[in-house]
Structure 1
């Protein structure tokens, strides 16, 4: 009776371990699939006002990243952001402006590739562009009138105490009610909000868990896991 109970108990544990490795593998597979969907490029949503998706002085909401927004105001300050990546393997110096809205709040705007000296623009501005999160890593050593990275924290001052987080990269611009002749626009692709490498990390976990399950499945075939046979010692007659 004890032998049957022990065999049943060990078999149950063995099957539970195999089932657990299978389920853990499926869990990692589902996470990889969910991440793949989350990082896929999505169709752009309708044009929306900057003030409807973000608030000045607050962190940029995740839902606002990659949105095509519009805003109007005047350019109050101009900067150059050097050594910015605009495409694979291509760096450029960018024309960055501080757009002051009618509310008194401001937002950083990337007009495109900088042509030095920067154009002076005093007219009213209406623009559309894609909203990106602020940069956290310096791209270059900044001199006066330059930005080491495109980050509103670098331009906060008594005159501009409340800025919108992130920055807008232009897609269209009207100056004084007329379409801008600006031809230095840069590409505005959607950015991924996840690290692509994590997808393959989850896939590797799937392989590991299912490999362990396969080892457990064939474990009874190995002699080491079988009950050792008793060795009968033969007596020695004197």
Structure 2
């Protein structure tokens, strides 16, 4: 294990590795904030080390004094924006309200920084802001008797719902940005094919959804909270008071 590189959270703010040429002091925070700005405006893929260096007026190699590689940079920027969730220091003791607060704050965060919904999650981020969210949610269930596996599964159910919902929201936004066709226009263009499917009689359940769907449709906020309440109902059914 001696050859393993330390986590970014155990590395100093600035590497001692010198860069050739005149030196100017930057900070890891500058690098992180520049990366977030680019990702917000142009998408996550645009936030390359070269592009970030240009944003802050540094040479590309200078950035490696502050961030070892792109993987570390991703951890840093995800944790930085997670701090925007603004959760209280500790849970209120009302597990349902606390879990709902996490879900709502997480969705709001993803809608502000849509690149969060487009990145492949990979390993968990263990930065201070991310750990606070984890600690808050996990300790919301302290009053109940459950194993670690049960606790992780139930909180994973909540997080999975939020991430799945918001990825669908962001997906429509990204498609509209890329193609100029939003959800309403797509539905208008596909209406002839939808009628063809209904008349074919081959998909009765799907046809019922098409024919009986109310208009206007339930707004995203209402759909999110409707689904969130069902997820919390499911979690509640699994809870057993502690001794």
TM-score range, shorter chain: under 0.3
Larger relative contact order (C-alpha < 8 A, sep ≥ 6)? 1
| Higher-Rg member (1/2) | 1
Which of the pair is proportionally richer in helix? Answer: 2
Normalised by the length of structure 2, the TM-score is 0.22
